[in-house]
Amino acid sequence: MLKEFRDFAMKGNVIDLAVGIVIGAAFTGIVNSLVNDIIMPIIGMLGGLDFNNYFIALAKSVTATNLADAKKQGAVLAYGSFLTLVVNFIIVAFVLFMVIRTMNQLKRKEEAKPAEPPKPSAEVVLLTEIRDLLKKS
């Protein structure tokens, strides 16, 4: 019986993991869009910066001013793209932190509820009555 339960629990964990991976992949797309289409343009507007076009030319033949053309001309170090990915990571890490924290709080609330002690069986009640009668005599 225990082995069957363990096998069932393991299958449940594998399914949970698969669901988590699928949701994580979908969430990554949402975060990428949030960062690239909303956050970075706002940061760029406030500071007059466009992180996607921040790069350092590693080859002397690179003369372009935007990243796409610079990559065609030669080797570039695209640190603006890296900054965008760092912002993506920070957002994903924060959201995962909040989800895990909420789950842990819910688990603590469930564990904090004290379970009622089980009622004594009929035999125990009868033996208790007999003990009490013997003490009186």
| pLDDT tens per residue across span 83-114 | 877 877 888 788 778 888 888 888 888 777 77
Whether 91 contacts 29, CB under 8 Å: no
Domains of the chain: 2-136 (1.10.1200.120)
Please, what is the end-to-end C-alpha distance for the chain in angstroms? Answer: 49
The helix or strand, by DSSP H or E, that contains position 85, with its residue range, turns out to be helix 79-112
Whether 34 contacts 84, CB under 8 Å: no
Q: Which residue is listed with tokens 């975060």? A: 31
Predicted TM-score (pTM) above 0.85: no
Q: If pLDDT is split at 50, 70 and 90, which confidence band does 49 have?
A: low
User: Could you count the other beta carbons within 10 Å of the beta carbon of residue 84?
Assistant: 20
